[in-house]
Amino acid sequence: MLLSNSAAKDPNNPSCPKAPDWGPSQAMTLTPANRDGKRVLIAEGVIDELLPDRMYDAIAADEMIEEIWIKSPGGDAKAGNETGKVIRSFPGMRTRIPEGWTCFSACNFVFMGGRLRQVDPGGIFMVHMFTHTGQRQVIADSVDKGTEDTVELIGEIEQLSALLASEDNDFLIRMGISRDLLTDIMYRQLATGGKDGSGERYCLNQSEVVQYNVMNISPG
């Protein structure tokens, strides 16, 4: 498993750590650094709508960068897709989730932008049902207020979610990831209460990141 045997597990999401290290709860920072004899870009924090442009500028500014190390709790789903496409536009760019780091939600799509992708043993590729930011709370507030527009609002959100699902599917095809990752895991989490029957998060194990082609190079 990607989850270390010594890590405390989340009782509600038993495939995942109880306290994932997915970086700070602020806009993602992009910091060039020398690690393991390589020039890398350390990306950590929340994915915001400006990240695609910032990612492009950061990579373009340092031609020595060959690998992007990522940890994030997610954020703007559309920006995650767009950032992944930015990374893919740089030939040969690698992405990596180091040991102990967690890449969750929209971060999955940033990571999958790497032409070469590595999840270290003990690195966490954590997925869930992707939704538009705040939509559950918007529905709850609407219901509480007794507005007549609640049903229409839910319909609009379902359409937006369907559109995002279509974009995700297209993204996976372009990035060379198995589309089964969406149907088997990502879009099952909320509907079924988790792939393993509980919670809304699921952490792929080492076999699964290979099975779905999330990782296409061996750690080493």
Tokens 């939704």 -> residue: 131
The answer to whether residue 37 scores a pLDDT higher than 80 is: yes
Q: Is the pLDDT of residue 169 over 90?
A: no
Decide which of 3.30.410, 1.10.3470, 3.90.226, 3.40.50 is the CATH code for 9-131+181-211: 3.90.226
Q: Return the pLDDT at 193.
A: 46
pLDDT band of 69, cuts 50, 70, 90: very high
Predicted TM-score of the model (pTM): 0.78
- Predicted confidence at residue 131, as pLDDT, reads 47
Place of tokens 């996976």: 172
41-56 tens-digit pLDDT: 999 999 999 999 999 9
Average pLDDT over residues 4-18: 78
All structural domains of the chain with their residue ranges: 9-131+181-211
Pairing of strands 102-104, 124-128: parallel
The reported pLDDT for the residue numbered 71 is: 97
- Show the tokens assigned to 137: 């709370």
Query: Cα–Cα distance between 71 and 169 in angstroms, integer?
Result: 23
